[in-house]
């Protein structure tokens, strides 16, 4: 823990993530305008004291939309990664614990999934479903569990024959007890690190999908679709591209810093003590 | 990722942002000429006008090429039998006059005397017959053949007479002859029209002839000394190929092109903010021949109820859409015709924004908010539906504005934006939609049989909203048979009136076509006549004092 706090990257990352989470949480309290309130008399106003980040093509306040967009972007990140991690732990645990043909089947399907470019797979699936925030979270989750599966399996393989596991088994512990109380708790660290890094990429995927018009649908705001709106006016209304672009950049950076820092801190090989 | 990595990425992202943000200011310094272009001089011959187009033509035989870039250039090179004048009335171009037989099935065109191709050969009715044969030939790869295949007999009784006979009277016929470029038989008779080199070295009869074509760069046209319609004033036209609209705008600001089409933001926001541009460049706006609408799937409940359709029509604030989406650069429409043309019924007014009336109509139709959640219900089901549109920023914004207005009267509408191919294939063709926001582009002929006639509802046909009204069917049939323009006008005015009452679609707006033309080009009609500013480009001129000294062809 001491080492964690001594690492400035983790602190910066954590600070960024916590601030954005807080901003998203209290968005209704601090947003100066209704994010969906249209004002055709205030179209594309530059940032000012009235509208801190200007207004968009329908006169909506960009700052308010950014705050509400943060909720969407973060929620997509958490839920999608939650789904991916749950699937990953389940499959990885089975593969690593039972080995044999179960392992072969699961790991080959991981290979198959990894051989398909994820973003295009998501694009194809979304094109057949109604694009909505829930579908997006589910689809991102269902297409990004492979890393966690490999990770959990590798941990299980290395823990499977350790003395404490063999001891528990000798004492008559059932498979479920071994998996959930002995093996899993000891593999949590890499899972947490990979989940945090996974959130960063889920935020990016959501922004990408919304940018392509397949993500969060109008009039709901997400950073990706604010960015798309900005594309039309980039020569004239820079604020529509700059702020969501920066927000995505900073958030993803925050998660990456935090994830990298945690990994370094928890990695016994990097230990100086 | 290390900290240095992250920092580097962060910094470069910042730099990129500033470069992008800085772009908008970097162009103003390059305005070359401090001449005052506001003085009007008498018409004179000479000069070069440079315009820009986003795409390069695939060839200059318009019926084969099919794209707008090709017809834009080709219409300076080739003539048609007829043309539309400034008021969008048909008049002769190669034809001096035309007659329609008593049974209304035969049209006889009399060509003007002494017509010549640019290579000095005579242009005769043989050329017209040859063009008709080509456009209807099964081996010709053209999408424009179907109208001409209705001609059962085409004859050339003498070199200046061309006679076509139809199976039944077909009123849009004259319009189709105004759109067919007449091609020279003597140069094309032994050629495969789909692949001929002629399409890159065309010989025509109109004001200009092609002198050079540099791939990916420009096409240059100069005056045709044999032009059938007299001499144009401007010596040469240079069309530069600049695929990106933003790059075109920079070239316009730097005085490297004389004209381009603008979007509402450039027209209404960037120009007013840049006085140095206004000094040299004049802006023009004219109504385009298209409109945006909200269409109901009339096969689905509750849109089969006229009260519901009218209620939604009253609930939508059209002016708000024009102000918000088109930045005021559009007009409300009340008929499926371009406002100001003879086919548009001037007595019709679009439904005013009247939410109270909308609510009353919905109540009448049985929609009441029985559970107090702000959404109306009928038979226990909330009034909710999906507004579909394609990936078009303006239509999407229109959808958002409509959604809000409908929410105010208690209708819960969702918006769904789709990519064009899946929009057509999965929703429009199988009629799997509630409501769509779309646009119609119209031809100059008023015949809209394919859009509104009840027989045109098969998958893939244009009446995908399933509109069916026997009175409208009768009028549309009569309009196709009536060749007298005044009687036709009455038919289509009546048709528009019924359509407005029935409200199978809600007319939203007709946007202006916006263009910027350098003030060195004079003689442009402003405000634009019904046919648009381009109807008399041959009368445009560049006074000698304003002509460019050297043309930068790069």
C-beta atoms of B327 and A249 within 8 A: no
- Contact yes or no for A16/A254 (Cβ under 8 A): yes
Give domain status of residue A9, yes or no.
yes
Give domain status of residue A37, yes or no.
no
pLDDT at residue B312 in the model: 97
Q: What is the mean pLDDT of chain B?
A: 88
Q: Compute CA distances A98 → A147, A171, B141, B418, whole Å.
A: 19, 19, 65, 46
Q: How far is B391 from chain A (nearest CA, A)?
A: 7
Partnered with residue A145 across adjacent β-strands are: none
pLDDT at residue B161 in the model: 96
Choose, out of B9, B262, B265, the residue to mutate when testing the contact with A (most A CBs < 10 Å): B265
Task: Tell me the chain B residues in contact with residue A249 when contact means C-beta distances shorter than 8 Å.
Answer: 9-10, 13
**In B482-534, which ranges are continuous DSSP H helix?**
485-502
Ramachandran region, residue A204 (left: φ > 0; alpha: ψ -120 to 50; beta: rest): alpha
Helix H, strand E, coil C: the string for A212-236 is: CCCCCCCCCCCHHHHHHHHHHCCCC
The dihedral built from the CA positions of residue B249, B251, B255 and B258, taken in this order, carries a sign that is negative
Q: Mean pLDDT across the stretch B92-104?
A: 94
DSSP B458: S
Partnered with residue B512 across adjacent β-strands are: B287
- Contact yes or no for B2/A263 (Cβ under 8 A): no
pLDDT at residue B7 in the model: 47
pLDDT at residue A151 in the model: 92
Q: How far is CA B161 from the centre of its chain?
A: 32
Q: How far is A39 from chain B (nearest CA, A)?
A: 8
How many angstroms separate the CA atoms of B541 and A24, rounded? Answer: 60
In B40-150, the DSSP E strands lie at: 48-53, 82-84, 90-92, 95-100, 106-111
User: In chain B, pLDDT over 70 holds for what percent of residues?
Assistant: 93
10 Å CB burial of residue B169 (0-12, 13-18, 19+) is middle
Partnered with residue B238 across adjacent β-strands are: B50, B220
- Contact yes or no for A102/A95 (Cβ under 8 A): yes
A-chain residue closest to B265, CA distance = A233
Q: Is the ipTM of this complex over 0.95?
A: no
- In the predicted model, is pLDDT for residue B343 greater than 70? yes
Give domain status of residue A92, yes or no.
yes
Angle between helix A133-142 and A62-98 (nearest 10): 30
Judged by a CB distance cut-off of 8 A, whether residue A236 touches chain B is yes
| Residue A138, token pair as written in the block | 């589910």
Look at B361 and B288; give whichever has higher pLDDT: B361
Task: Tell me the chain A residues in contact with residue B20 when contact means C-beta distances shorter than 8 Å.
Answer: 234, 238, 241-242
Residues found in chain A:
273
| CATH code (residue A222) | 1.10.3720.10
Interface of A with B in 198-217 (CB under 8 A): 213, 217
What does each of the 273 residues of chain A score in pLDDT, given as a tens digit? 666 777 888 899 999 999 999 999 999 999 999 988 888 888 888 899 999 999 988 889 999 999 999 998 889 899 999 999 999 999 999 999 999 999 999 999 999 999 988 888 888 887 778 778 888 889 999 999 999 999 999 999 999 888 888 898 899 888 888 888 888 888 888 898 899 989 988 888 888 888 877 777 777 888 988 888 887 777 778 899 999 999 999 999 999 999 888 888 776 665 444
Task: Tell me the chain B residues in contact with residue A59 when contact means C-beta distances shorter than 8 Å.
Answer: 324
Residue among A130, A217, A236 whose CB faces B265 most closely: A236
Residue with tokens 């001129």: B541
C-beta atoms of B24 and A57 within 8 A: no
How many angstroms separate the CA atoms of A182 and A167, rounded? Answer: 11
pLDDT at residue B176 in the model: 92
Q: Mean pLDDT across the stretch B288-311?
A: 94
pLDDT at residue B469 in the model: 96
C-beta atoms of B17 and A245 within 8 A: yes
Give domain status of residue A197, yes or no.
yes
Give domain status of residue A41, yes or no.
no
pLDDT at residue B34 in the model: 61
Domains located in chain B, CATH noted: 3-54+207-258+520-546 (3.40.190.10), 73-197 (3.90.76.10), 290-511 (3.10.105.10)
C-beta atoms of A218 and B400 within 8 A: yes
Look at B44 and A5; give whichever has higher pLDDT: B44
Q: Mean pLDDT across the stretch B385-402?
A: 89
- Contact yes or no for A202/A140 (Cβ under 8 A): yes
How many angstroms separate the CA atoms of B47 and B234, rounded? Answer: 6
Q: How confident is the model at residue B391 (pLDDT cuts 50, 70, 90)?
A: confident
Q: How far is B418 from chain A (nearest CA, A)?
A: 8
Q: Mean pLDDT across the stretch B248-265?
A: 90
Q: Answer whether the bond into residue B28 is a cis peptide, omega within 30°.
A: no
- In the predicted model, is pLDDT for residue B127 greater than 60? yes
pLDDT at residue B2 in the model: 45
- In the predicted model, is pLDDT for residue B60 greater than 90? yes
- Contact yes or no for A101/A230 (Cβ under 8 A): no
The domain containing residue A114 runs over which residues?
2-32+51-272
Judged by a CB distance cut-off of 8 A, whether residue A47 touches chain B is no
pLDDT at residue B549 in the model: 67
Angle between helix A223-232 and A184-211 (nearest 10): 20
The dihedral built from the CA positions of residue B404, B409, B414 and B416, taken in this order, carries a sign that is negative
Number of domains in chain A: 1
Judged by a CB distance cut-off of 8 A, whether residue A264 touches chain B is no
C-beta atoms of A233 and B21 within 8 A: no
**B18-27 confidence digits (pLDDT tens):** 444 444 443 3
DSSP A171: T
How many angstroms separate the CA atoms of B410 and B414, rounded? Answer: 13
Interface of A with B in 57-96 (CB under 8 A): 57-59
C-beta atoms of A57 and B393 within 8 A: yes
Give domain status of residue A122, yes or no.
yes
pLDDT at residue B550 in the model: 57
Give domain status of residue A215, yes or no.
yes
Q: How confident is the model at residue B31 (pLDDT cuts 50, 70, 90)?
A: very low
How many angstroms separate the CA atoms of B75 and B206, rounded? Answer: 8
Helix (H) / strand (E) containing B518: strand B505-518
DSSP string, B184-227: -HHHHTTS-TTT-GGGTS---SSSEEEEEEETTTEEEEEE-TT-
Q: How confident is the model at residue B94 (pLDDT cuts 50, 70, 90)?
A: very high
Give domain status of residue A211, yes or no.
yes
Choose, out of B390, B397, B418, B421, the residue to mutate when testing the contact with A (most A CBs < 10 Å): B397
- In the predicted model, is pLDDT for residue B13 greater than 70? no
Choose, out of B249, B384, B393, B394, the residue to mutate when testing the contact with A (most A CBs < 10 Å): B393
Choose, out of A219, A246, A270, the residue to mutate when testing the contact with B (most B CBs < 10 Å): A219
């Amino acid at each position: 823990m001491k080492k964690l706090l001594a690492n400035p990257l983790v602190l910066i990352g954590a600070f960024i993530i916590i601030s954005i989470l807080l901003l998203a949480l209290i968005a209704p309290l601090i947003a100066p305008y209704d994010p969906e309130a249209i004002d055709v008399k205030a179209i594309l106003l530059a940032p000012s004291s009235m509208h801190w980040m200007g207004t968009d093509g329908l006169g909506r306040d960009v700052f308010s939309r950014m705050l509400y967009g943060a909720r969407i972007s973060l929620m997509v990140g958490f839920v999608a990664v939650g789904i991916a991690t749950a699937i990953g732990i389940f499959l990885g645990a089975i593969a690593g614990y039972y080995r044999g043909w179960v392992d072969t089947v699961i790991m080959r399907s991981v290979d198959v999934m990894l051989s398909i470019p994820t973003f295009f797979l998501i694009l194809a699936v979304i094109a057949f479903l109604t694009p909505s925030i829930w579908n997006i979270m589910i689809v991102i989750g269902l297409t990004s569990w492979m890393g966690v599966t490999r990770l959990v399996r590798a941990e299980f393989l290395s823990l499977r024959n350790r003395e404490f596991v063999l001891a528990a088994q000798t004492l008559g512990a059932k498979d479920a007890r071994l998996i959930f109380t002995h093996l899993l708790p000891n593999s949590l660290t890499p899972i947490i690190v990979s989940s945090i890094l996974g959130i960063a990429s889920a935020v990016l995927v959501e922004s990408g999908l919304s940018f392509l018009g397949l993500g969060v649908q109008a009039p709901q705001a997400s950073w990706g679709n604010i960015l798309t709106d900005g594309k039309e006016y980039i020569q004239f209304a820079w604020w529509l591209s700059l702020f969501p672009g920066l927000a995505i950049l900073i958030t993803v950076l925050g998660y990456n810093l935090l994830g990298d820092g945690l990994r370094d801190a928890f990695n016994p090989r990097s230990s100086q003590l | 990722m290390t900290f240095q990595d992250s920092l580097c990425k962060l910094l470069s992202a910042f730099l990129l942002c500033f470069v992008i943000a800085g772009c908008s200011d970097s162009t103003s310094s390059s305005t070359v000429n401090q001449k005052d272009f506001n003085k009007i001089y008498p018409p004179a011959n000479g000069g070069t006008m440079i315009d820009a187009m986003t795409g390069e033509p695939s060839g200059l035989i318009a019926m084969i090429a099919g794209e707008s870039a090709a017809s834009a250039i080709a219409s300076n090179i080739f003539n048609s039998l007829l043309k539309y004048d400034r008021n969008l009335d048909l008049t002769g171009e190669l034809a001096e006059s035309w007659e329609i037989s008593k049974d209304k099935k035969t049209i006889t065109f009399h060509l003007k005397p002494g017509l010549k191709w640019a290579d000095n050969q005579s242009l005769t009715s043989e050329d017209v017959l040859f063009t008709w044969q080509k456009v209807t030939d099964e081996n010709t790869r053209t999408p424009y053949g179907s109208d001409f295949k209705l001609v059962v007999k085409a004859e050339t009784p003498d070199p200046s007479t061309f006679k076509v006979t139809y199976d039944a009277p077909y009123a849009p016929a004259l319009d189709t002859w105004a759109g067919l470029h007449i091609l020279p038989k003597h140069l094309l008779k032994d050629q495969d029209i789909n692949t001929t080199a002629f399409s890159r070295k065309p010989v025509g009869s109109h004001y200009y002839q092609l002198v050079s074509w540099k791939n990916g760069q420009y096409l240059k046209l100069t005056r045709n000394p044999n032009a059938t319609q007299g001499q144009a004033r401007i010596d040469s036209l240079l069309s530069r190929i600049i695929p990106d609209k933003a790059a075109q705008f920079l070239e316009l600001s730097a005085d490297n092109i004389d004209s381009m089409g603008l979007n509402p933001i450039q027209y209404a926001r960037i120009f007013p903010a840049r006085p140095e541009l206004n000094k040299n460049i004049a802006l023009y706006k004219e109504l385009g021949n298209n409109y945006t609408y909200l269409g109901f799937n009339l096969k689905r409940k509750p849109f089969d109820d006229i009260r519901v359709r009218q209620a939604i029509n009253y609930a939508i604030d059209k002016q708000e859409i024009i102000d918000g989406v088109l930045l005021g650069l559009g007009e409300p429409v009340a008929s499926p015709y371009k406002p100001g043309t003879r086919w548009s019924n001037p007595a019709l007014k679009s439904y005013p924004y009247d939410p109270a009336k909308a609510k009353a109509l919905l109540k009448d139709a049985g929609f009441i908010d029985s559970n107090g959640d702000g959404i109306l219900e009928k038979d226990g089901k909330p009034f909710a539906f999906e507004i579909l549109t394609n990936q078009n920023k303006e239509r999407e914004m229109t959808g958002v504005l409509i959604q809000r207005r409908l929410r105010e009267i208690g209708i819960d509408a969702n918006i769904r934006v789709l990519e064009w191919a899946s929009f057509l294939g999965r929703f429009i063709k199988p009629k799997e939609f509630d409501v769509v926001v779309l646009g119609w582009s119209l031809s100059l002929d008023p015949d809209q049989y394919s859009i509104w006639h009840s027989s045109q509802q098969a998958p893939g046909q244009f009446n995908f909203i399933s509109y069916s009204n026997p009175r409208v069917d009768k009028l549309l049939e009569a309009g196709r048979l009536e060749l007298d323009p005044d009687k036709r006008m009455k038919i289509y005015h009546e048709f528009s009136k019924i359509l407005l009452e029935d409200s199978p679609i809600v007319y939203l707006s007709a946007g202006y076509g916006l263009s910027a033309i350098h003030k060195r080009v004079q003689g442009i009609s402003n405000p634009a006549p019904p046919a648009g500013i381009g109807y008399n480009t041959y009368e445009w001129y560049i006074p000698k004092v304003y002509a460019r000294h050297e043309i930068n062809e790069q």
